[in-house]
Structure 1
Amino acid sequence: MKPLSALLASLALSVGLLSAERVAAITPLDPINFGAIGWESGALTTEILRLITEDGFGYATETLPGSTVSMEVALARNDLQVIAEEWAGRSPAWVKAEQAGQVFALGDTVKNAEEGWWVPAYVIKGDPAKGIAPLAPQLRSVEDLKRYAHVFKDPEQPDKGRFLNSPSGWTSETVNSQKLKAYGLDAHYSNVRTGSGAALDAEVTSAIKLGKPVLFYYWSPTPLMGRYDLVRLEEPPYDATAWATLTDPRNPSPRGSRSLPAKLSIGVSAYFRAQYPDLVAVFEKVDLPIDLLNKTLADMSTTRQPAREAAKAFLKANPQVWKAWLPAENAARVEAAL
């Protein structure tokens, strides 16, 4: 048997190693840290989950900001415990952490979510009511964009079209930049990164209100999908090998492919999964109907409602949705708080 001093020294060493790895860095009495997601659907989902966590289970929460990748890295280190809208499996940072057992994707929170390259329908079909003639009537796929660059002219580079990419720091920004190369469009289009998700939304919305042609990356669920008639451009079928070249910004020869089929989940740290089985059971059941979510996001955007207030309104208006996720006692607490 080891002497007591040796046991204490061993324990101290173990505690030090755990601290260095940022494992079990909080106690159940500390706030649960949620990632402060910058896009609307993620922000709304974050606040819905925070209200359920706080009012239904009595746990304190906080939010911490960061880019998509930095939040995934923080989740792996347990500096964050929850990312409310995780497009699981898309970034190398997530894949690496998931394979190491540091992060877990809970549930399938929004069915039929998608992402891709879009144009307003009037660019292809025209809009007689607004006096807009078709500008690219044969536009169907990303390959067709080569002959329509002049339609999407970039005012800063008039010899090129303008493609609105994701903000820098998003996984999709890397993928879109690689897609421009893979489809041979980098010579035809400027790659414009907006400063934020809100800036991307504002630029697209402004163009649509003016009836101007605009080519942009976007995704669903979003307010835009609930508000405008948009057409997604066709891409080659999804191919896992090609996808790997698109997520790697250092790959010099990316291959074209539709994006990885969307699966939206709630990302949690390994510590959270072990420490909060009551919340894990709830998060695994979260199911937000996409049409309802798109409408909610459109209303939230139109009225400029903060995500926290929109989440309260959503919970009040749709008890039939969220009560199915919670035990009756916890659901009653949330309802009472509302």
Structure 2
Amino acid sequence: MNKLVKGLAAAGVAAAMSQGAVAACGDVTIAEMNWASAEFMANVDKIILEEGYGCTVELVPGATLTTFASMDTKGVPDIAPELWTQSVDVPLKAAIASGSLHKMNPKPILGAGEGWVVPSYTLENHPELKSVLDVIERPDLFPYNEDPTKGAFVGCPAGWGCQQINNNLFTAFDMEAKGWVLVDPGSAAGLDGAMAKAVQRGDDYFGYYWSPTAMMGKYNMQMLDFGVPFQGMDDWLACTTQAECADPQPTSWSVSEINTIATDSFMKNNDPKAAAYIKGREYPAAAMGAMLVYMADNQAGGEDAAIEFLVNHEDVWTQWVGVQAANLIKKSLN
């Protein structure tokens, strides 16, 4: 009888310890933002936190401004996996200074940002093109279909925030005098269509785009170094981004600030190992591009893409978690 009682007591202690380990993580809310990479990341975080660390995760719909406002004023959701923070820079700094929010991961996606791009084969065929400055000297490689004597640079559609930036940079680099035409693609579909048509034909292409996106991954587009230093945020905000900028100067594109943001409640009340995972995960550009292409080609949502990633990219995500968590996650996928 004593052995039985001791056995039951030991089992009870073990069960309590197990439940305590799961409870240590507790409930977590994660913003599932309304673009593909952020939707995908939220679902990867959900699976890893639930299966690897015993959290109970709820995904909540999100967008940059609304998610930040909710986190800042209500403390919900706990985590925004991919927050482009430049648009909320001032209130975010205030929230961080007060301790209510934390920057968890300054590089959740390697190689993310905006700028001017060309296909990879353009650089392979013309190794002398090292930067935007080099490309600008070769309008002959990118003939404009309405006037082949000029080069075509495809900018942003009218109404996009990046349109004025491209207009000012086009002026700053004196591109019209060097034989270029600034092409307005008309819409997001027009921008994507111009790139797709050129690459499918094997033509050289030069224009604006951003990463991570399915288009960058599918067509193996390469972001160019501008070949000139960034002139600083004061000049960027006062002139480069403004319609009334009288004398724009050559500059690199501003560095995009993308962070994973978490609430103070998550930091204090959830498993430190879960926080360590969030802090340490970085998606290589190639892996992220491949997943966005998978989502586009298969009309897949974030959950399906997350499973596809965890099954086929163990070499990436197992570097973010401990051995025990990795084994639990792998087991859940079988």
TM-score by length of 1: 0.65
User: Could you tell me which amino acid in structure 1 is paired with residue 164 of structure 2?
Assistant: S
RMSD: 4.3
User: Is 2:207 the counterpart of 1:216?
Assistant: yes
* Structure 1 range deviating more: 227-236 or 182-191: 182-191
- The superposition leaves residues 265-313 of structure 1 with CA deviations (integer Å, 9 ceiling, x where unpaired) of 3122344344435332210111223333333433443344333212112
Taking structure 1 as reference, are residues 248 and 181 closer, same or farther at Cα in structure 2, changes over 3 Å only? closer
Q: Does 1:335 align with 2:323?
A: no
1:183 to 170, 173, 176: 170
**Aligned residue for 1:174?**
161
CA distance in 1, matches of 2:155, 2:291: 25
Query: Is the 8 Å Cα contact of residues 115 and 217 (structure 1) preserved in structure 2?
Result: yes
Q: Paired residue for 2:31, among 28, 31, 34?
A: 34
Q: 1:237 to 1:139 in 2, by over 3 A?
A: closer
Pairing 1:48–2:41 present: no
Residues of 2 paired with 1:193 and 1:69: CA distance?
26
Q: How many angstroms apart in 2 are the aligned matches of 1:64 and 1:93?
A: 18
Q: Which moved more, 1:248-257 or 1:139-148?
A: 139-148
Distance 1:100 1:142, change over 3 A: farther
Length, aligned pairs only: 289
What does 1:55-134 correspond to in 2, within 5 Å? 55-56=51-52, 57-66=54-63, 68-77=64-73, 78-88=75-85, 91-101=86-96, 102-107=100-105, 108-120=107-119
Amino acid at match of 2:231: D
Aligned match of 2:156: 165
Counterpart Cα distance in 1 of 2:315 and 2:155? 38
For residues 234-273 of structure 1, the aligned pairs below 5 Å read: 234-235=225-226, 236-240=228-232, 241-245=234-238, 252=245, 255-262=249-256, 264-273=258-267
- Residue 238 of structure 1: how far off its partner (Å): 1.5
d(CA) in 2 for partners of 1:60 and 1:139?
A: 44
| Larger Rg belongs to | 2
Contact 1:42 1:84 in 2 (8 A): yes
Measured after TM superposition, the shift of residue 164 of structure 1 is 4.3
Q: Which structure: greater helix fraction?
A: 2
Summarize deviations over 1:225-264 as a string: whole Å, max 9, x none: 4443545455331122333336865774565422334564
Q: Decide whether the 8 Å contact of 1:142 with 1:234 is kept in 2.
A: no
Contact 1:273 1:280 in 2 (8 A): yes
Closer/same/farther in 2, CA of residues 280 and 177 from structure 1, 3 Å limit: farther
TM-aligned CA distance change 1:261 to 1:277, over 3 Å: farther
Instruction: Structure 2: state its 5+ residue gaps.
Output: 1-24
Q: What secondary structure does 1:180 align onto?
A: helix
- Alpha-carbon separation, structure 2, partners of 1:154 and 1:232: 26
How many angstroms does 1:64 deviate by? Answer: 0.9
Residue 315 of structure 1 and its aligned partner are, at CA, apart by 0.9
Give the aligned residue type for 1:291: A
For 2:161, the aligned partner's letter is T
Distance 1:44 1:162 in 2: 31
| C-alpha distance in structure 2 between counterparts of 1:335 and 1:167, whole Å | 47
Q: Residues 189, 250 of structure 1: CA spacing in aligned structure 2 closer, same or farther, 3 A cutoff?
A: closer
Indicate how the Cα distance of structure 1 residues 153 and 181 shifts in structure 2: closer, same or farther if over 3 A, else same: farther
Call closer, same or farther: CA 1:335–1:250 in 2, change over 3 Å.
same
